[in-house]
Structure 1
Amino acid sequence: MRLTWEEPYASDWEQLSPAVARRRLPVWDCTVGLVAGADAALMIDTGSTLREGAELRTQARGLLGGARVTHVALTHPHFDHVLGAAAFSGVEVYGAVGIDTVFERGRDELAADAVRHGVDRHAAGEAADLLVHPHHLVCGEWTLDLGGGTRVLLANVGPGHTGHDLAVLVPGTDGSPEIVFCGDLVEESGEPQSGPDALPTQWPHALDRLLELGGADALYVPGHGSVVNAAFVRAQRDALATRHGVS
């Protein structure tokens, strides 16, 4: 597989390297990612509804020259990142250990949160009813071999933004930088959002782990907003530490 950049879908996506792209979805500015290997392709997060997930599936197939997404990684259990997962039938789904319990016990709350943020009630309920539980739960780190030398590291770096934060590291090759998909541990388009499931005193430590993963020269892809560098992540880490009294 390889990423192609022909219309009609290329204009919606930002190319980060020859094998990596990301899209900022409308309304909540939620980021999704796509990583192509020779034999497989990984989608990072899936949007807020089945309709949005289906659109992402179609666009990904276009960018992959007709090939299908084979793996999905969910960065954390918030509606705008997970409710489109059921649109990706037959894929292997990964999440941080414990996300399955959130999905099992908090299905109704996920739908209710989506409705509070403006998602149609029927669409939210349908997506929650069909919510895909991850097939693989990441406790520490998990390496996915997508073929052709493309290996992606899934790292359980939380808790922080939630109790179940998963980061995705795409190592740099052929002069391309390391790329870290951060989920909502990092936000650029606004202040980091701290909901009732956040663990604020642990959040700075999760960002320390992100910086260890990517290093000083990596591109860091936030859950919302523009791609940032290590200095931005470090500044956000220090601001959160100050706010919550963490060293």
Structure 2
Amino acid sequence: MRHWLWAVASLVISVELAAAGFDYPLQPQQIATDTFVLEGKTEDFSKDNGGFIVNSGYIVTQDGVVVIDTGASRRFGEQQRALIEKTTGKKVIRVYITHHHPDHFLGNQAFSELPIYALPATTQGVQREGEMFSSNMYRLIGDWMRDTSVVAPNQVAQVGKETLGGHELEVLAFKGHTQGDLAIFDHTTGVLFAGDLVFNNRAATTPHAEIIDWLASLEQLLKLPFKVLVPGHGKITQDAEPIAQTRAYLVWLQTILQQAAANGLDMNEVMATPIPADFKAVALAQSELRRSVAHLYPALETEQLKPAKQAE
């Protein structure tokens, strides 16, 4: 009997230790009145970081808490929600998803009974690609994804202003990083949640990018009177420098790809392009260049190969 109890106790301890190994290091960072960010690492997905590479935010209103992006897994969403409700003493009342990339929405399962708002293109992207993203995330981060299922947004985010619990929130619709890039601007505090339209000292990702549209969206962001800028990835700032950096990176990327296509370079040659000094300190610049070539270069090559009359 004593041996059986010891075995059970050992099993319980082992399970608890295993579970503790999947705790995300969530440290709320207050960036304005009632406004917090959980800042992700500027890294690739890995089993070490559990997919916690994105900035998610929340606004504590008089009516309850508004969450912006739910992270890369069910575990993240559950731990995010538990932390928010424990530290604020208020319930989460709604969620906004900025776009359909997996590190931003795969925590939706933890909020599935709540209104989860997104632009129509984002919901369509989740419905179209969510299962593929989820499968790939299982491969990349392993058991951090345990029991994660795809939950699509269930409400259409309406563009415009709404006063909620003492905060005047504005939903803004853009495109470029994806076909549906949502930003939230809190006029009450001056905080702009820019999603992945903006990266700060982390190379931009481009699997669904249209760079011309993206650059136009950045110009629109610059017109907003924000006081605090929350990029999708990287440090929070009180200036527009991350927008300028993202713009410069995209212009450089577009330029080298167009020039390479015009000169008939193959993809491997383009992937070996040296990173300029301006972006040497930008995390993952070389690896994201390789990915961007894979994402964007085939279309540019095809365009170059069109007969002159067709190209016109």
TM-score interval for Structure 1 and Structure 2 normalised by the shorter chain: 0.7 to 0.9
**What is the Cα deviation at residue 243 of structure 1?**
3.0
Query: Which one has a larger percent helix, Structure 1 or Structure 2?
Result: 2
3-state SS of paired residue (2:117): strand
Decide whether aligned partners of structure 1 residues 241 and 95 sit closer, same or farther in structure 2, where only a CA change above 3 A counts: same
Cα distance per residue 1:150-201 (max 9 Å; x no partner): 12111112x111111101111244xxxx111111111124111112x11122
3-state SS of paired residue (1:118): helix
Choose the corresponding residue for 2:217, options 189, 198, 206.
206
Unaligned regions of 5+ residues in structure 1, if any? 1-9
- Kindly indicate whether the alpha-carbon contact (under 8 Å) linking 1:98 and 1:164 is maintained by their aligned counterparts in 2: yes
| Amino acid across the alignment from 2:109 | A
Choose the corresponding residue for 2:228, options 214, 219, 231.
219
Q: Quick one: distance in 1 between partners of 2:131 and 2:26? A: 35
| Amino acid across the alignment from 1:210 | L
**What is the Cα deviation at residue 34 of structure 1?**
0.6
Q: Quick one: distance in 2 between partners of 1:155 and 1:12? A: 27
- Structure 1 match to 2:124: 101
- Structure 2 match to 1:4: none
| Amino acid across the alignment from 1:134 | N
- Kindly indicate whether the alpha-carbon contact (under 8 Å) linking 1:220 and 1:227 is maintained by their aligned counterparts in 2: yes
Q: Which segment drifts farther, 90-99 or 68-77?
A: 90-99
Q: Please give the TM-score of this superposition, normalised by the length of structure 2.
A: 0.65
Alignment size in residue pairs: 223
- Structure 2 match to 1:142: 160
Q: Please give the TM-score of this superposition, normalised by the length of structure 1.
A: 0.81
Q: Quick one: distance in 1 between partners of 2:59 and 2:223? A: 21
Q: Quick one: distance in 2 between partners of 1:62 and 1:39? A: 16
**What is the Cα deviation at residue 11 of structure 1?**
7.6
Instruction: Output aligned runs, 1:16-35, within 5 Å.
Output: 16-25=31-40, 27=49, 28-35=52-59
Give aligned-pair identity as a percent. Answer: 25
- Kindly indicate whether the alpha-carbon contact (under 8 Å) linking 1:218 and 1:230 is maintained by their aligned counterparts in 2: no
- Kindly indicate whether the alpha-carbon contact (under 8 Å) linking 1:200 and 1:244 is maintained by their aligned counterparts in 2: yes
- Structure 2 match to 1:238: 248
| Amino acid across the alignment from 1:199 | E
> CA RMSD of the aligned region, Å?
2.5
Decide whether aligned partners of structure 1 residues 11 and 114 sit closer, same or farther in structure 2, where only a CA change above 3 A counts: closer
Q: Quick one: distance in 1 between partners of 2:212 and 2:139? A: 27
| Alignment partner of 1:194 is 2:206 | yes
